[in-house]
Every structure is written in C-alpha cells, then in structure tokens.
C-alpha cells in the first residue's frame, strides 16, 4: 500500500478504537444503574452539546452505536486490519528509563512469518490476477515494438539515494507523527491476540509519560501553573473553556480524548484475577470491567470535577476522527485493501465503502476550516508548532515501559496523527457551505492532490 494510503487507513483504525471505547463505556453505565438507585455513576451519562462542534452527545451516541460500530466490528477480524507492523524496541529519545512492566500480560506476541498474509509482506504477485487488463490480455507480445518500447533503466546509485532524500523530505512535511513500520526491527503483531487492556503498568514511569505530554507538549495557558507529576495527568479547566485560542484548545482536547480512550479501555478490560473459575492460575487470566477503577479515574469527587470534561473530550476526538475519514473517503474508496486473499479483499473493500457512505452522511461534522485561518506568518507558525508538538508526543510513546502499552499507545497516536494530516495538510479537498456544514465530498480524487514520489508507486505492508 502506498504510504499515504496506509497512513489514511490509520485514521480508520483510530475510529475503531474510539468506537470500541464508546461500547466499553456502556459496561459502566448500564451495569451501574441496573437494579440500583445508587446514582454515583450518573456522571457517565453525558448530555448536551459538544463544545467546538455543532452536534450533541445523543447524536454521536446514536450514530456510533447503531450505524458505525456494528460495521467497524465486522472489519476488525479481517486480516487487513488485524495485523499491525510496529517497532517496539526503539530507545526512549528523551530520558534513560529501563523500567519494565513485571506482569506476564505486558508481553506482546509477535507473528510468525507463515501467519502473515503474503500481500501484507509486499508479495504482489497474486495481485496481478485482479487487474482487468491482465484478465483480458491474450498475447503478451501483442503490439510490442522493441525499439519504441525501450526503456533506459540505468539510474546510478547516487541518483537513487537523492530520490530517497526527496521522498523523505516530502513525507516529513505532512506527517504529524512518527511511522516506524519500515525501520529495521519492526515486526508484525496480531492485534486480536494482543488486545488493549490493563497490564499493571503504573507508577513513576507511567506518570512521567503523561507529565511530559501535558506539561511539555500541550499548549499552556498563561494563567495555568505547573502542577505535580500526578496532577499533570489531570487536564486543567482553562483548556475546556474559551480562555485560549481554538487551535490550542483543539490540540488539548484531542490529547485529553486520547487519554480518556486509553483509560476507558483499561477499565473495561481489567485483570480481575490471574486464576480461573476453578482456582488454578489461568494462562490468559480473568478479564472484565472494573467499576471501581472507572470511578477512580472519572468520577467528579475523585477528579476535582474534571472527569466529565475528559469524557466529553473523548466525544470531541471521535468527531475529529470522523471528520477526517469523511474527508479522505474518496481516496479510501480507491484502495484495494490487498492481502493476497481475493475473497477477503473484495469483502473488505465493499465493507469499507459502505462504512464511508455512512460516515459521509453524518449530519454535523467538525469544521476544521476555521482553524489556522488567520492568514499570514502567524497562522503558518501556529500550524507548524501544532504539528511539531504532536510529532513530539509520538516520540514519547517509545518511552513507555510496558510493551503492550507501548504497542497500543503508538497505534492510537499514529491514528490521531493521521487524522490531523488529513485535515490540515491541504492535500485533501472538501467544501463547506455558508453555514459551515460539510457538503458531500466529490467521488473522484482532487486534481490538486499532490502525491509524493514514493507514495505513487510503492505498496506498503498494511495498516491497522
């Protein structure tokens, strides 16, 4: 898959994660109310509008639970989405930290070579039989003129290196995060065998990750003083109000939504016991929703009344991701989703097209055109700073001490970074009407889209 299409697909992956988060959240709300008058969990049931967007919570809940989530769930088990190539052995670039999660559940199971679909490994030999021209061609030498068809392929090694420099530079201008699947040491992981869940990773190492993200890489309001390492993980209310500009607020709310997504997944898939029902140590442990942990992380009395803001930021991040998918829909429709298994590839392509049609029909998409719209050098500088800060956060993921946490942290950050790339690179065309409502996207690729040299011809491994 070409790099830009692989990156676009990461956006789809993160919407999958957020949708699963929404369903996981349902565990806590429904279970805590069933047969009980205790209202201590009522903070789960948000209502009203979502700040900086034009829709409300109920609209998102209905659209996600009824229309989007069922479609996404069926895609999760497909090879194209379940296998993810990632580099988990990179050193932390910011500090020396040899802390590791001691639990056996932190370990990530890598794939054996034989289990990876051939198309994801770069074997495109079986892809040619899909092409209509190949299916109808009867004589490979037909109309062949050896002289006119001669192609001089004598390009020097030095020229090839220069081409790679150009490609790397082009890609660096649009990316909002680090993609390391092409680096030596990257390996395939089956995400179905390595689900995102609580591993016991906590303490100073985990606190330092979130402290660095919030205090060093989020835009700070002038009125906000730096807090302790633990408090740094708690978003400050100034960013939820209009005390900072829209761009700073969007950045913070995206990171806060990411944080909420991770926390809800951990609470929904928590290690309840290492023993099975018969009392013996279970190889995989006993997992399920942990109501007390969810309350500790989000209830008003445990979070200084900030928990509802963090949950609302999850909705905001969901809407930004949804908007990115809608904007990239014409390009994603043209992808083959190639794994080498013709039947599966055809089903995935049809399912993705159906999903994109549903997403495009969402009535209240986030309007990204109001951002970085001031013109002049100030807007350019702000966008550059926005991108650099998110790029830095993606690097921080290499400092996570738990392998499984690092895996899902990198995946979620890359998905969000891809959404930002789609929305703000200027290479994906879309229109809004006079009321700021997104009009239906054109079904063909925009002639203004400029693909990078390597992106046009190179099929990458896969995405998820």
What does the longest C-alpha to C-alpha distance in the chain come to? 85
Annotated binding site: 197, 199, 210, 256, 259, 297
**Cα–Cα distances in angstroms (integers) from residue 27 to residues 145, 173, 217, in the given order:** 67, 41, 33
Answer positive or negative: Cα dihedral of 386, 388, 390, 396: negative
User: What would the two tokens of residue 255 be?
Assistant: 């990171």
d(C-alpha 397, C-alpha 108), whole Å: 16
d(C-alpha 15, C-alpha 10), whole Å: 9
Kindly name the residue from 13, 44, 399, 402 that is annotated as catalytic: 402
Q: Which residues pair with 56 in a beta bridge?
A: 49
User: What would the two tokens of residue 191 be?
Assistant: 């995400």
Annotated binding site for FAD: 197, 199, 210, 256, 259, 297
Q: Is 110 helix (H, G, I), strand (E, B) or coil?
A: strand
User: What would the two tokens of residue 245 be?
Assistant: 């500009």
Rg over CA atoms, the chain: 23
Q: Does residue 140 have an active-site annotation?
A: no
Q: Is 285 helix (H, G, I), strand (E, B) or coil?
A: strand
Kindly name the residue from 53, 177, 399, 405 that is annotated as catalytic: 405
Q: Where are the beta strands (DSSP E) in 77-126?
A: 83-86
Contact 313, 52 (CB under 8 A): no
Q: Is 281 helix (H, G, I), strand (E, B) or coil?
A: strand
d(C-alpha 96, C-alpha 17), whole Å: 30
Query: φ, ψ for residue 275 (rounded to 5)?
Result: -110, 150
The end-to-end CA distance of the chain, in Å, is: 12
In the block, tokens 């609580």 appear at 198
Q: Is 273 helix (H, G, I), strand (E, B) or coil?
A: strand
Contact 166, 85 (CB under 8 A): no
Q: Does residue 111 have an active-site annotation?
A: no
Contact 403, 107 (CB under 8 A): yes
d(C-alpha 367, C-alpha 246), whole Å: 12
d(C-alpha 372, C-alpha 437), whole Å: 18
Angle between helices 403-424 and 376-396 (to 10 degrees): 160
Catalytic residue set: 402, 405
């Amino acid at each position: 898959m070409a790099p830009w299409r692989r990156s676009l697909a990461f956006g789809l992956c993160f919407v999958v994660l957020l949708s699963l988060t929404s369903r996981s959240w349902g565990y806590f709300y429904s279970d805590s109310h069933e047969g009980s008058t205790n209202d201590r969990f009522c903070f789960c049931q948000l209502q009203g509008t979502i700040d900086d967007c034009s829709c409300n919570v109920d609209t998102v809940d209905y659209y996600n639970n009824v229309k989007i989530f069922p479609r996404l769930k069926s895609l999760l088990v497909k090879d194209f989405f379940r296998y993810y190539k990632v580099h988990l052995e990179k050193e932390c670039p910011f500090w020396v930290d040899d802390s590791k999660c001691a639990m056996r559940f932190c370990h990530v199971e890598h794939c054996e070579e034989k289990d990876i679909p051939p198309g994801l490994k770069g074997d495109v030999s079986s892809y040619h039989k899909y092409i209509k021209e190949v299916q109808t061609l009867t004589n490979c030498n037909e109309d062949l003129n050896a002289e006119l068809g001669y192609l001089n392929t004598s390009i020097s090694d030095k020229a090839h290196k220069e081409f790679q420099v150009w490609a790397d530079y082009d890609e660096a201008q649009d990316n909002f995060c680090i993609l390391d699947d092409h680096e030596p040491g990257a390996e395939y992981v089956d995400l179905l065998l390595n689900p995102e869940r609580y591993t016991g990773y906590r303490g100073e190492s985990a606190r330092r990750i979130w402290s660095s993200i919030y205090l060093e890489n989020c835009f700070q309001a002038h009125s906000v003083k730096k807090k302790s390492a633990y408090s740094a993980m708690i978003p400050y209310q100034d960013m939820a109000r209009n005390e900072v500009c829209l761009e700073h607020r969007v950045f913070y709310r995206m990171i806060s939504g990411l944080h909420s997504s991770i926390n809800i997944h951990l609470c929904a898939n928590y290690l309840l016991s290492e023993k099975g029902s018969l009392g013996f140590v279970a190889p995989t442990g006993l997992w399920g929703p942990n109501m007390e942990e969810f309350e500790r992380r989000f209830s008003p009395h445990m979070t200084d009344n900030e928990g509802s803001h963090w949950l609302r930021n999850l909705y905001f991040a969901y809407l930004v991701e949804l908007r990115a998918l809608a904007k990239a829909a014409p390009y994603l429709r043209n992808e083959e989703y190639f794994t080498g298994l013709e039947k599966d590839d055809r089903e995935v392509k049809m399912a993705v097209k159906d999903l994109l049609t549903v997403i495009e029909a969402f009535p209240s998409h986030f309007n990204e055109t109001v951002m970085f719209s001031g013109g002049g050098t100030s807007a350019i500088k702000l966008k550059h700073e926005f991108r650099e800060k998110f790029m830095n956060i993606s690097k921080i993921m290499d400092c996570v001490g738990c392998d499984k946490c690092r895996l899902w942290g990198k995946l979620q950050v890359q998905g969000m970074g891809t959404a930002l790339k789609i929305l703000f690179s200027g290479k994906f065309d879309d229109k809004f009407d006079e009321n700021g409502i997104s009009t239906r996207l054109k079904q063909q690729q925009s002639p203004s889209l400029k693909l990078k040299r390597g992106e046009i011809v190179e099929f990458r491994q896969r995405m998820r």
